[in-house]
Amino acid sequence: MERTIPEPTWSSPQYADSDCSALKARLTPFLITGAFIRLVQYHFSDPDNIETDALKGYVWTDSPNGCISTVVTGTEVGPDSTVRSVDEVVDGSKILITISYNRDGQNVQQRPAILIKREQVQTGKISFQDKTLDSLSASSSFFPGAEYQINITGSHSLIAVGKTGAEAERLAEEVFYRMLHYKPLIIDELQLGMMQVAGMSDVRELGDEAEKAFYVVVGIKWAYVYRWRVIPEAPVVKRLHLSLTEQ
């Protein structure tokens, strides 16, 4: 028995044009740092995203100044109609996730944290010369300027800090597998040429005996091609000097 599938009815087209984001327009190491921070913050903002059951209580929230708790002062009326001051403690984020140079040493040692640090950035040649082949513009038939390209490579350290070595290691594992699983999507969204989750360090100590903490470093390497064009605004006018000599 043959079955006929009706032809779908097409409606008017919907235009979904949007401006390019800053990442699409020009990728920089600073933007890569921000992207890693937002990715880790988003992961810990919902307990359903956290794979390790022991870490599901480590929920990140955008609390003011990254404080562990905030004391809010107010007033209330007592049974005897007297007004008295009341201090209410409001819990903030259970985990600190920020860039490494914004950390507060006291806050880091009081609660778990993930700190994102940009390491050294280097450049390298793509071919024997940085300049690409010059060509005329197909639309206007004029020289649009010389185009150059270079390979930019760098790395980031995602530092998991905990009050115990086990806490730091579990946090580092959560970040390690998050970046490993979503590496293809991150490469596509950030327009990276390469991204590699390089590895996870051993557990290391932080601070002194009185304020001791532990940390583990997750290393990420990345690279992308940076291109730019040098466009001459006007031709260079050469001066000609004539001198007369008698023969």
* Residue 32 maps to a domain: yes
- 165, part of any domain: yes
Only one residue has tokens 């235009």, namely 15
Give tens-digit pLDDT for 43-53: 999 899 999 89
Is 107's pLDDT higher than 70?
no
What single DSSP character describes residue 235?
Answer: P
User: What average pLDDT does the segment 123-135 reach?
Assistant: 70
Residue 79 resides in a domain:
no
- The verdict on residue 106 lying in a domain is yes
In a domain, 85, yes or no: no
Pick the more confident residue, 164 or 246: 164
The answer, yes or no, to whether residue 89 has pLDDT greater than 60, is no
pLDDT band of residue 144 (cuts 50, 70, 90) is low
Digit-coded pLDDT (tens) for 149-205: 889 999 999 999 999 999 999 999 999 999 999 999 999 988 899 999 999 999 999
181: closest CA among 60, 51, 33, 56? 51
Closest of 197, 193, 204 to residue 226, by C-alpha:
193
Strand, coil or helix: 91: strand
Residue 73: strand pairing partners: 87
Q: Is residue 133 part of a domain?
A: no
**Per the confidence metrics, is the pTM higher than 0.75?**
no
- For position 62, what pLDDT does the model report? 78
Q: Which residues face 213 on adjacent strands? A: 206
Name the 3-class secondary structure at 219. Answer: strand
Would 69 be classed as within a structural domain?
A: no
Containing structural domain, residue 47 = 22-60+92-121+153-221
Residue 224 clears pLDDT 90, i.e. is over it: yes
Number of domains forming the structure of the chain: 1
Is residue 86, in this structure, part of any structural domain at all? Answer: no
Residue type, 238: K
